[in-house]
Structure 1
């Protein structure tokens, strides 16, 4: 199963906290918890909860239904980013979010390469039409 980016981010926060507690990390170098405040993590997980529920109902949906699910998850992530001054997701996070969407679709039987090709897009352009982050 595709791992949510928030799982990785929470792991990084815990790892940093452990390093701080062990004295192996200078507190001035600790930034992970600041990059991923709990409100951001919770909001992003809420978006993914809805996305996963929609994926479970896709079945043999056509391209338009699949694109509608992608549009909704991307717009919801745009809203999360907006609440966080449009700085919630940097380059690495953007890639993780897109990979998660792609992997989740694939796990639910969507051939992302074929889907995007049918619409004149490259595989990694799946979210571009709606994505602001």
Structure 2
């Protein structure tokens, strides 16, 4: 199963907290908890929970249904980013990669889907993505 970006973000927060507790990290260099506040993590996971549920039933779906699911997840992530301003370049790439992998793991040939619509594989989210 594709690893959610929020999982690695939480792991980074935990690693940094351990380093701070051990005294191996200067507190002035600690940034993970500020970059990924709990509200952002919870909101992102809520959106991805809905997306995961939806894509679980997409195997064999028409392209329009797949694109509708992608549109919904992207618009919901736009709303999260509007509130929390949490998605920078690395986060954007991780979220797009997660969407691609979740679709692939649920039987969607992302390369073929994109090609049928004149898109590159990593352009599925571009039409709706603000982050």
- The TM-score normalised by the length of structure 2 is 0.99
CA RMSD in angstroms, aligned pairs only:
0.6
Residue 100 (structure 1) aligns with: 98
- The TM-score normalised by the length of structure 1 is 0.97
Q: Distance in 1 between matches of 2:78 and 2:99?
A: 14
Q: Distance in 2 between matches of 1:60 and 1:126?
A: 18
- The equivalent position to 1:109 in structure 2, one of 107, 122, 126, is 107
Q: Distance in 2 between matches of 1:130 and 1:59?
A: 23
Q: Distance in 2 between matches of 1:122 and 1:60?
A: 21
Any stretches of 5+ residues in structure 1 without a counterpart?
none
Residue 40 (structure 1) aligns with: 40
Q: Which shifted more, 20-29 or 51-60?
A: 51-60
Residue 61 (structure 2) aligns with: 61
Tell me how many residue pairs correspond in the alignment. Answer: 131
Could you tell me whether the CA contact under 8 Å between 2:70 and 2:125 is conserved in 1? yes
